[in-house]
Structure formats: C-alpha cells, structure tokens
Amino acid sequence: MAFGSLSIKGRALRYLSQREHSRHELERKLLRHVRNAARRRQQADDAAENEADNETSRASSDEQQIAPALDALAAAGLLSDERAAASVLHSQGARYGVRRLKQTLQQRGHEPELIDATLQQARSTELARAHDVWRRRFGAAPADAAERARQVRFLMGRGFESDVIRRVIRGIDDPTFDEV
C-alpha cells in the first residue's frame, strides 16, 4: 500500500512509528494531509462543479475522522503526550538547555503543565549538561573577552540559562553559587 493511500489511522501509525508525537502535533499533520489530499482530488476532478461539492464534503468527513482515530490510538497506548515529552527530553536534553527544550515542547503542542513537569527534570541536570556541551565544543577557559563572548553566545544559542552559563565559563560547579 502506498503512503499516499493510507487511512487516517494508518498514516497516524506511520508517523508514530518514526518518532513519538504529541496529540496536537499529530492532529496538525493529519489535518494538513487531509486538506492536501482534498485539494489534489479537487484539482483532478475540476471538470464538474457537482464533483467539487462532493470533494468538499469528503474532506470535511475525513477531518471528522481524525479525532476518533487519535482517541483509539491513545486508548491503545500508542499515543501519549507524556511519552512524547519524555522523548524530547531524552533525545535533545544532552545538547540543549531548558529554554530550547521549552521552545521545542511548545512548538509540538504540549500542555503547559506537562512542559513544566518535563522542564523540572531538565533543570536538575542543566549545569552538568551545559558543562558537557561546553567541554566538547571548547574544552578550555576563554583566553580573552572576545573568546568569552563567543562561548557565552554558543551556550545561549543552545538554550542554557544565563546563571548556568556563568558558572560553566568561570568553571564554578558549585550549585549554590549565586552571583549578582
């Protein structure tokens, strides 16, 4: 069966087999697919206006099938927002800071409560992760102000908090360190 001819549930399973998705993200992808398929069918059958009306009703019927398909996948344990958030943390947590992870989770449509819970886990190890990223990239303390600024910009681009960056650049690994 070709990828283009999959049912909505089949397409959702195909997406889920590639990586974990949040419900919102999967719904967005499926909706885009349904609308594109309807547009392609409408272009192919552009000859009669009666056909165009049929295509519009077929597309809206497909859109109404998305929620029940996602409900069935969630009931079967194949779709889980918690698992999707944990997957983001696991796959990107070693390279990125809390700010970047938050942005990724928001883009994927996770609920604010789930994002907060996931980021709590990431905050507990952020200093160690930032130090590891810094060590792999630079490995030595900055020699001058320009090098220091470059290292700070790099870590900020990776989404680490400014106090964590300060500790890493200065080599202070004490979690009680508090500079004004």
- Segment 60-69, tens digit of pLDDT: 666 788 999 9
Q: Are the beta carbons of 160 and 99 closer than 8 angstroms?
A: yes
Other C-beta atoms closer than 10 Å to the C-beta of 45 total 13
pLDDT at site 39: 84
Mean pLDDT, residues 37-66: 67
Q: What is the chain's length?
A: 180
Tokens representing 152 are 């700070």
Given a cut of 70, whether residue 56 has pLDDT beyond it is: no
Residue 14 has pLDDT above 60, yes or no: yes
pLDDT digits (tens, 9 = 90+) for 111-164: 999 999 999 999 999 999 999 999 999 988 899 999 999 999 999 999 999 999
Inform me whether the pLDDT recorded for 72 exceeds 90: yes
What's the pLDDT band for 34 if we cut at 50, 70, 90?
A: confident
Angle separating helix axes 162-170 and 145-157, nearest 10 degrees: 140
Cα distances (angstroms) measured from residue 29 to each of 3, 12, 22, 72: 14, 9, 11, 17
pTM of the predicted structure, to 2 decimals: 0.78
Q: For residue 52, give the amino acid letter.
A: A
DSSP string, 114-180: HHHHHHHHHHTTHHHHHHHHHHHHT-S--SSHHHHHHHHHHHHHTT--HHHHHHHHHT---TT----
Q: What is the pLDDT of residue 12?
A: 93
**Average pLDDT taken over every residue of the chain:** 86
Confidence at residue 35, expressed as pLDDT on a 0 to 100 scale? 86
Read off the pLDDT of each residue in 5-25 and give the average, rounded to a whole number.
91
Q: What is the pLDDT of residue 52?
A: 47
More confident residue, 70 or 49: 70
Question: Based on C-alpha coordinates, what's the Rg of the chain?
Answer: 23
Structure tokens at 117: 């819970």
pLDDT above 90: percentage of residues in the chain: 68
Judged against a pLDDT cut of 70, whether residue 53 lies above it is answered with no
Question: Are the C-beta atoms of 127 and 168 separated by less than 8 Å?
Answer: yes
Which amino acid would we find at residue 164?
A: V
**Residue 83 three-state SS:** helix
* Phi, psi (deg, nearest 5) at residue 175: -70, -10
